[in-house]
């Protein structure tokens, strides 16, 4: 497996992308099921089954929640662009896909957690 000498700023941006994505997913897990108010529903019982699918009413996001989601999404977009358009990619003749996969896992090596 080839090794890559990613610049520190590139590794730091990728690690920040990982952290921001994890924080966003954790935040989103506690949000209502829809951004706008939406009534709940319950499906009819299906033949040969006792399972009834349904969803409770959703109050929608508060203004603070909507603002926080927008902030996370803007930061994720900014970091994604920073990582994907970094000048390092133009230094590779081939194997860009392999290098991209290696960068996604570069934080797993010892010492990179402090980046």
Q: What are phi and psi of 79, to 5 degrees?
A: -70, -40
> So what's the pLDDT on residue 110?
47
CA distance 16 to 11: 9
pTM: 0.81
Alpha carbon separation from 33 to 13, 21, 56, 58, 87 (Å, rounded): 30, 19, 9, 6, 39
> So what's the pLDDT on residue 1?
63
pLDDT band at residue 18, thresholds of 50, 70 and 90? very high
């Amino acid at each position: 497996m080839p090794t890559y000498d990613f610049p520190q700023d590139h590794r730091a941006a990728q690690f920040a992308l990982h952290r921001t994505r994890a924080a966003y997913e954790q935040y989103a897990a506690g949000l209502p099921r829809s951004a706008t108010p939406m009534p709940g529903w319950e499906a009819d019982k299906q033949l040969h089954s006792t399972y009834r699918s349904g969803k409770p009413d959703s109050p929608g996001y508060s203004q603070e929640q909507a603002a926080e989601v927008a902030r996370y999404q803007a930061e994720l977009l900014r970091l994604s662009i920073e990582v994907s358009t970094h000048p390092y990619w133009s230094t590779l003749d081939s194997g860009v896909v392999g290098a991209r996969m290696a960068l996604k896992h570069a934080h797993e090596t010892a010492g990179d957690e402090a980046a």
